[in-house]
Chains A and B, each alone.
Chain A
Amino acid sequence: MRKIYFLMAIAGIISLYFASSLYQPQKISLSEVWKYNGKDVIVEGKVKNVVNSLITISDGNATTSIYWDGNGIEYGDLIRATGRVGEYGNDFTIYAEKVEILQKWDEECISLPYLAENYEKFVNENVNVTGYIYSKSTGYFYLTDEYLKYKIKVYCNSTIPFARYDKVIVKALMIYDSTNLCFYLKICRDSHGVIKYE
């Protein structure tokens, strides 16, 4: 009997090995990450923050952090992470084995009114906004929409070569200034800039 039990146990373990390799991790929403501690999961969301290897993503309802040693992730990218849920400090994080960029932040071009009316979705994200130059000054300019209803300040290091009311695309990081209770755009990375709308 001993041999039979042993062989059956080994057959079972081999079957479990193949069964585990067939399973795809479950895709979950960010609000239920805590339920899957120790399990492999797939999550999707927009990048809200990147500090060294720790990426914070949001799906609009909840946020979670992803630990990943990789490059190329920027604020505003829509990503899919596959990895195991574990603890990081007092919270849960996903130790990602794989991170895919589903949509780069600059693939989506939005108008200034859309940004103004959906600002909560874009705070701390890179945005790709179309609008019109309203006024220029050293180190910053104002962007407005075609009816001059909305205006937003855009900080940039160099003077832009555009005239008033030129239609442009601004690639910048959207930031909330809690001291002055306002939003602004900041051109601060290599991938940022202002180009003429063709």
Chain B
Amino acid sequence: MSEFLMVVAFSAMGALVGLLTGIIPGLHTNNIAILMLFLLPLFHNVNLYFALFIVSAAISHTFHDIIPSTFIGAPEDDTALAVLPAHSMVMKGEGYRAIEISALSSFLSILVCFLLLLPFCFLMGEPFNLYSVLEENMGWILLSISLIMILTSPRIFHSLFIFLLSGIFGIFALDIPSSFLIPSSPLFPALAGLFGAPTLLTAKKGSIPEQKMDEVKWRIRKRDVGGGVISGGLVSMLPGVSSAVAATLAMAAIKEERDDEVISLLSATNTATNFFVLVALFVLLKARSGFAIAVEKMIHLKKWSGMIAEPFNLFLMAVIISAFISYYTTLFMGKMVAKNISRISYSSLIKISLTIIIFMIFIFNGFSGLLIFATATFIGLLCLEMKVRRSICMGVLLLPLLIKYFL
């Protein structure tokens, strides 16, 4: 088979695996990356194709993970802040619209990422070396984000209280090695508890309205996609900072109120973060996430400067193929779920959703995961009770990072 066809085939397969990891709560492309590294010695001369497969799955994952976040309130780190607006759109019968907006925003963010690829590389690498400036000042950037989030809240002291409580919780929860049956981080139970479960537990009882499938005119705002791409680009370069921080940065910088605009902003951020993690691998030769580390271990990396040469061009091709397939599969899966979701009562949906979340947490994180989930749920409920903005719960990640940078 020609190289071109192999690239297309592995990229397409990666996109389909990304679909699976995206729609199964708690499953991450990092799990697939570890599996691929394990399988690699069994095959000959497939290192490049396996690496393309992983990159394609990572991009596809960012398209599809909005589906469980929207319909069952099970968030990933990058979709945690989107759970509330997406779920409220479901309750207005606009669940499919939320998926459409997310899929299109992710797709547009890939196009914007390509447009900004060259300027971004010049800024981050030679001659401007903005990367070094960002890395040196990351503590201050995170402190600024935290202060903006707290000080712009309507209830400053309540917000500070929730921020600190979430942060102290994060310090202990994220320190526990909680992998159970599948290697995973304690982030999933923490975020599912802070952002997912309280939404489900406090939702007004009633029936789920039939989801609208008709063509409604809506538009994606340029500043949401642009802001998401810039936030994702900045954060993807930095060590120890996840895409959840990119989402928080984007939310702090662009104060969106409408549900659809928040979803658009966060989806663009999410996809752009993984795109620029790939770029960082070839421009800075730095692996900034699990999938990038796996790629680094599979192929010999050549620093990209000037013309886009192999194998970087093949990875960019995989990104395009994955984005194209993922856009349509996200719409297809979203439509399928939206069509059927109103057939079940809301109380049943809540029970099913919580059962799925708890089951997945047990599979991934065992009993310690359940303890993390329960504690996070009480903090999330307290946040709702005190009428504090939910993004303040991102203290779970921000406070441990601030401590790491300043102490």
Binding site for B on A (CB under 8 A): 1-2, 5-6, 8-9, 12-13, 15-17, 19-20, 23, 25-26, 34-35, 37-40, 87, 90
Majority SS at the chain A contact face: helix
Residues of B with C-beta under 8 A to A2: 382, 385-386
Interface size on B, residues (CB 8 A): 29
Contact between A16 and B385 (Cβ–Cβ < 8 Å)?
A: no
* Assembled-state Cα–Cα distance A39/B175 (Å): 7
Residues of A with C-beta under 8 A to B290: 35
* Contact status of A35 and B34, CB under 8 A, knowing A13-B172, A13-B375, A16-B372: yes
Contact between A19 and B368 (Cβ–Cβ < 8 Å)?
A: yes
B363 within 8 A of A: no
With beta carbons under 8 angstroms apart, the residue of A1, A9, A26, A90 that contacts B169 is: A9
* Assembled-state Cα–Cα distance A20/B386 (Å): 29
With beta carbons under 8 angstroms apart, the residue of A1, A9, A20 that contacts B165 is: A9
List the 7 shortest-distance A-B pairs measured between CB atoms, nearest first: A12-B375, A16-B172, A5-B382, A9-B378, A8-B378, A9-B379, A5-B381
* Assembled-state Cα–Cα distance A4/B285 (Å): 50
Residues of A with C-beta under 8 A to B382: 2, 5-6, 9
Give 30 pairs: A residue, B residue, CB < 8 Å, sorted on A: A5-B381, A5-B385, A8-B375, A9-B169, A9-B379, A12-B169, A12-B371, A12-B378, A13-B168, A13-B169, A13-B375, A15-B371, A15-B375, A16-B172, A16-B173, A16-B176, A16-B371, A16-B372, A17-B172, A19-B368, A20-B175, A23-B177, A26-B177, A35-B183, A37-B240, A38-B240, A39-B177, A40-B177, A90-B285, A90-B286
Q: Total A-B residue pairs with C-beta atoms closer than 8 Å?
A: 68
Residues of B with C-beta under 8 A to A15: 371, 375
With beta carbons under 8 angstroms apart, the residue of B165, B239, B375 that contacts A16 is: B375
* Assembled-state Cα–Cα distance A87/B286 (Å): 10
Residue of B nearest to A15 (CB): B371
Within the complex, the shortest CB–CB distance from B361 to chain A, in Å, comes to: 14
Residues of B with C-beta under 8 A to A16: 169, 172-173, 176, 371-372, 375
B130 within 8 A of A: no
Contact between B297 and A34 (Cβ–Cβ < 8 Å)?
A: yes
B24 within 8 A of A: no
Residues of B with C-beta under 8 A to A19: 172, 176, 368, 371
Proximity bits, B228-253, A CB within 8 Å = 1, else 0: 00000000000110000000000000
Within the complex, the shortest CB–CB distance from B152 to chain A, in Å, comes to: 23
* Assembled-state Cα–Cα distance A12/B297 (Å): 39
* Assembled-state Cα–Cα distance A57/B112 (Å): 45
With beta carbons under 8 angstroms apart, the residue of B239, B285, B378 that contacts A5 is: B378
* Assembled-state Cα–Cα distance A38/B34 (Å): 17
B374 within 8 A of A: yes
Residue of A nearest to B287 (CB): A34
Contact between A87 and B375 (Cβ–Cβ < 8 Å)?
A: no
Residues of B with C-beta under 8 A to A6: 378, 382
B293 within 8 A of A: yes
* Assembled-state Cα–Cα distance A8/B375 (Å): 7
Residues of A with C-beta under 8 A to B165: 9, 13
Residues of A with C-beta under 8 A to B177: 23, 25-26, 39-40
Residue of A nearest to B297 (CB): A34
Residues of B with C-beta under 8 A to A87: 239-240
